[in-house]
Amino acid sequence: MIDKRMTADEAVAHVADGMTIGIGGWGSRRKPMAFVRALVRKRVKDLTVVSYGGPDVGILCATGQAKKVIYGFVSLDSIPLEPHFRKARQSGTIEAVELDEGMFLLGLRAAAQRLPFLPTRAGLGSDVLKINPHLKTVKSPYDDGEELVAVPALELDAAFVHMNRADASGNGQVLGRDPYFDNLFCMSAARAYMSCEELVSTEELTRGGPLQSLLINRMMVCGVVEAPGGAHFTECPPDYPRDEKFQREYAATAKDAAAWKAFRAKYLDGSEADYQKVVGHERL
């Protein structure tokens, strides 16, 4: 079995300027934030970010590293609209590709299946087709002749996901109640990286929850990072809930540049260990 253990910084070393990256999780839930923080430290730029977006998107907008964002939504859940993303949209600093949430899923699924597109009714009649002139429709080749939207594959150069548990060879487990679409993100990417709250032996992994919780198998990922607190400040049940206080602190920094600069210096410019030390200390 291949030992795929590495650090988050080693994982993001493969991300180059201009790449398209997919980020797993959903809104402010089980986001691979340790990888996002590593991307911030690396200062890689001109990224296209593909995400059911939360603070991952917000942070990469605030640092100026996201050139383009492809999203179904960008939300902090308890704060309905991601404020840094809102600011980026309103000041025109990012290129946006806004898709219906279901279209987004079909784009991932098409990429995972190595198809050019998947058809859907979603989008027909709405302005999603108007704001995305690259989207085309197809006619059913069968007798019904129905016109459908052909959602193009969302192919990724790299994907990042965060699991509750994983083993060194890349099997990953979700112990929370929603797997989201992390397996599809991995399968849509040329290279996928998985962080986890706790790295365990394969025996412990399979004993640690129902077999259906083993969402990721080792074919899907090329790197495994043990990152306790790696989803903070998003939720990672059952390991921890969202850190609402921290999220409010983060959200408030969208209002003024000095506050964001201070936030970044305090939390994001140091190492992951520094981050966990600061937020762990503040949580006590």
Partner 1 sequence: MSVSEATRADICALAIAECFRDDGEVLVSAMGTMPSLGARLAKATFEPNLLMTDGFNLLLRHALPLGAKPTDEDIEGWMPFGSVFDTLWWGRRHVMMGASQIDQFGNQNIACIGPWRHPKAQLLGVRGAPGNTINHTTSYWVPNHDARVFVPSVDMVSGVGYDRAASLDAASSRFHEIRRVVSNLGVFDFNTPDHRMRLVSIHPGVEVDRVLANTGFELVVPDRLDTTPVPTPDQLSALRELDPQGHAQKELVA
Binding site for partner 1 (CB under 8 A): 26, 71-75, 80-81, 85-86, 89-90, 92, 98-103, 105, 120-128, 130-131, 144-148, 177-181
Three-point CA angle 10, 104, 79, nearest 5°:
80
Measured distance CA(223)–CA(1) in Å, rounded: 13
- Closest separation between CB of residue 265 and partner 1, Å? 27
Q: 80 or 203: whose CB is closer to partner 1? A: 80
Q: 71 or 275: whose CB is closer to partner 1? A: 71
Q: 177 or 207: whose CB is closer to partner 1? A: 177
Q: 127 or 203: whose CB is closer to partner 1? A: 127
Closest CA to 237 of 33, 14, 31: 31
Q: 8 or 118: whose CB is closer to partner 1? A: 118
- Closest separation between CB of residue 56 and partner 1, Å? 16
Phi and psi dihedrals of 49, rounded to 5?
-105, 125
- Closest separation between CB of residue 180 and partner 1, Å? 6
Strand intervals (E) in 63-206: 66-74, 95-98, 117-120, 136-139, 147-152, 156-166, 172-173, 189-199
Q: 73 or 275: whose CB is closer to partner 1? A: 73
Phi and psi dihedrals of 16, rounded to 5?
-110, 160
DSSP string of 171-199, one letter each residue: -EE--SS--TTHHHHHHTEEEEEEEEEEE
168 forms beta bridges with none
Measured distance CA(76)–CA(86) in Å, rounded: 12
